[in-house]
């Protein structure tokens, strides 16, 4: 595959940007800001979509060579990708209010495992034996990490057992992200990143608005500091982070992109320790290490099997 020389730099910037998300979410959601999880998710993708709109309009994205040229396949896949992105954020951000940043981020980054399984089921690409070993290793680590949280209260003082619900939601978030990456790889072969991101972020935002309204979630009236974190979340992790990774999906496989996000738990744990004073216990560190080792094995094995298609740079 022909890749632009800036690909590693763009992907590195994306990973650094997304690694700050978990801590920003906790700072926006915890007192005194107390922004509800659904509102945080909505502000993140909704504001990013709004900020992209002038760029889309100015570059002719609404014209005959832009969105008007899309067929049913492109629109259908993009809408599904947006819904899956909404599921990812809604479940993962909620998990951050129930379990630790370390557990939530580590579990949600099991995405490469589900990408490998999805490729086998949807693309008829059977994983190698090495990949299967990685799946089993990471799954075992995920179960161990969840059991460590089983009797612990959530970070906001919820009932015992709340943390295991948070862990489960984080895993659902990983499944949503996997579908989002697989569809992104399919569409990015022909669709410019600005149009893909515009539609997917917009659909995700609309989906989250509907969920928030149905659930009676307040979407405003927060302290000024809360809006600061929400804007930074939209600008950094979403607009810069996710868009950079979506850009990279044209040149590298979704498994490889997912593998790059393995740096996210390291940055998130460090920020949570520095800003939230959240301790990293030895059992949690061991569980996270097992999961990351399994994910690395899967991503590396699947990355080597990824089809290489020659395509020009955007």
8 Å CB contact between 313 and 4: yes
Pick the range with the lowest mean pLDDT from 28-37, 41-50, 153-162. Answer: 153-162
Quick count: other Cβ atoms within 10 Å of Cβ 273?
Answer: 15
Q: In this predicted model, what pLDDT tens digit does every residue of 107-125 receive, in sequence order? A: 887 888 888 788 778 767 6
Long-range contacts, stretch 7-10, CB < 8 angstroms, 24+ apart:
7/248, 7/251, 7/252, 10/244, 10/247, 10/248
Integer angstrom CA distances of residue 238 from 98, 113, 309: 22, 23, 27
Domain boundaries, the chain: 7-305
Mean pLDDT of the chain: 82
Q: Please, which pLDDT band fits residue 267 given cuts at 50, 70 and 90?
A: low
Check residue 311 and give its pLDDT: 53
- Per cent of the chain over pLDDT 90 is 37
8 Å CB contact between 102 and 291: no
8 Å CB contact between 28 and 35: yes
Q: Please, which pLDDT band fits residue 127 given cuts at 50, 70 and 90?
A: low
């Amino acid at each position: 595959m022909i890749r632009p020389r800036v690909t590693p730099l763009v992907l590195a910037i994306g990973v650094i940007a997304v690694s700050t998300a978990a801590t920003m979410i906790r700072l926006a959601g915890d007192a005194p800001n107390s922004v509800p999880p659904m509102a945080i998710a909505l502000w993140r993708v909704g504001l990013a979509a709004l900020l992209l709109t002038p760029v889309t309009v100015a570059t002719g994205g609404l014209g005959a060579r832009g969105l008007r040229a899309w067929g049913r396949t492109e629109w259908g896949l993009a809408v599904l990708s947006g819904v899956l992105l909404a599921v990812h954020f809604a479940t993962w951000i909620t998990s951050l209010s129930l379990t630790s940043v370390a557990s939530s981020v580590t579990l949600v980054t099991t995405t490469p495992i589900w990408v490998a399984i999805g490729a086998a089921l949807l693309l008829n690409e059977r994983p190698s034996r090495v990949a299967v070993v990685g799946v089993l290793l990471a799954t075992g680590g995920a179960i161990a990490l969840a059991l460590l949280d089983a009797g612990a209260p959530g970070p906001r003082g919820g009932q015992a057992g709340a943390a295991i619900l948070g862990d489960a939601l984080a895993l659902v978030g990983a499944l949503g992200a996997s579908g989002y990456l697989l569809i992104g790889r399919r569409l990015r072969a022909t669709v410019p990143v600005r149009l893909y991101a515009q539609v997917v972020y917009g659909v995700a935002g609309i989906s989250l608005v509907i969920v928030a309204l149905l659930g009676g979630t307040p979407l405003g009236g927060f302290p000024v500091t809360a809006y600061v974190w929400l804007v930074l979340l939209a600008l950094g992790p979403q607009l810069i982070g996710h868009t950079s990774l979506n850009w990279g999906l044209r040149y590298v496989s979704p498994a490889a992109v997912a593998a790059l996000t393995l740096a996210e738990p390291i940055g998130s744990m460090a920020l949570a320790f520095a800003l939230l004073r959240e301790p990293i216990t030895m059992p949690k560190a061991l569980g996270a290490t097992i999961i990351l080792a399994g994910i690395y094995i899967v991503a590396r094995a699947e990355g080597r099997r990824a089809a290489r298609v020659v395509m020009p740079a955007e």
